[in-house]
Amino acid sequence: MFAVGAFSAAAVSLVGVPLAAEVAVAAAVSAGMLALVRPNIVQRLHSGPELTTGHDALVGKVGVVVEPVSELDGRVRLGGEIWTARSYDPQTTIEPGARVSVFAIEGATAVVYPDD
């Protein structure tokens, strides 16, 4: 944006105007570019889907039970990794091979429920 102001001042200098006019043109064009172009550029750079990373990215994902999952412990495969897990419903035991959805991550343990 400042480069456009500098090039404008250079173009004006070819006409033979005084230095003060060159500086004024450079300042005016630079300010105009900042006011008109910068908001659009910032909006484009900051738009897009919000990315979730870490443990939050696993919530809602579907996995497969590797070892029986009870209210105390178990193992599930989530995204190619084996996680310790416990059942969201304390009365439910989920058998190996069953598909589960992740309700929450508590520390290094996935809280899961059967994916019907």
How many other β-carbons are positioned within 10 Å of the β-carbon of residue 91?
7
Q: End-to-end CA distance of the chain: give it in Å, rounded.
A: 56
Instruction: Say which residue the tokens 């989530």 belong to.
Output: 78
Q: Tokens for 110? A: 């996935």
Domains of the chain: 2-46 (no CATH), 54-114 (2.40.50.140)
Other Cβ atoms within 10 Å of 110 Cβ, number: 27
Alpha-carbon torsion 62, 57, 82, 95, what sign? negative
What is the DSSP code string of 6-18?
Answer: HHHHHHHHHHT--
Task: Spell out the per-residue pLDDT of the chain, length 116, in tens.
Answer: 789 888 898 999 899 899 999 999 999 999 999 899 988 888 888 887 877 778 888 899 999 999 999 999 999 999 889 999 999 999 999 999 999 999 999 999 999 999 87
